[in-house]
Copies of this chain bind each other. A is one copy, B any other.
């Protein structure tokens, strides 16, 4: 039997077990540029076991809900941040870990203006934009090395809006 998961709005509190929500909500940490720009400072836990971080651009095909998810992955050697280069929401699937098995899947829908950072080792679904052009900047570990673990579910989860 397929498990069904309802999407939730993405909030920093709800996402805290999995990573960071980066946005410009609330008061900036400081004003710069002669008061013209708010800096919301250092909002992601960048965490790399070794190697170097880099910035890559991802351009992904678009998905639609309801969506079957049968695969999640995690990166044991580093955190991974996704910054949308558009104002479109995207789908963020995460799971907790139980001795190497992803459990308790949750699905979040972002709002315009939210970027995310998966903490190192967090189970997550692959990048899932819901609108073209599916363009993101990704800040993750770019060095060589075994930094990808995948887990395939026997029975897919069905994500519903």
Q: What is the interface of chain A, defined by CB distance below 8 A to chain B?
A: 22-24, 28, 32-33, 36-44, 46, 52-61, 81, 83-87, 113, 115, 117, 126-127, 133-135, 137-139, 142
Contact = CB atoms under 8 A, between A and B. Distances in A.
B41 A46 contact: no
B55 A43 contact: yes
A60 B117 CA distance: 22
A40 B135 CA distance: 11
B56 A36 contact: no
Contact of A137 (B46, B86, B137): B137
Complex copy number for this chain = 2
A57 B43 CA distance: 8
B85 A115 contact: yes
Contacts of A52: 46
A40 B38 CA distance: 30
A41 B43 CA distance: 23
B85 A83 contact: yes
B60 A36 contact: yes
Contact of A57 (B24, B36, B46): B24
B60 A33 contact: yes
B142 A42 contact: yes
A53 B134 CA distance: 26
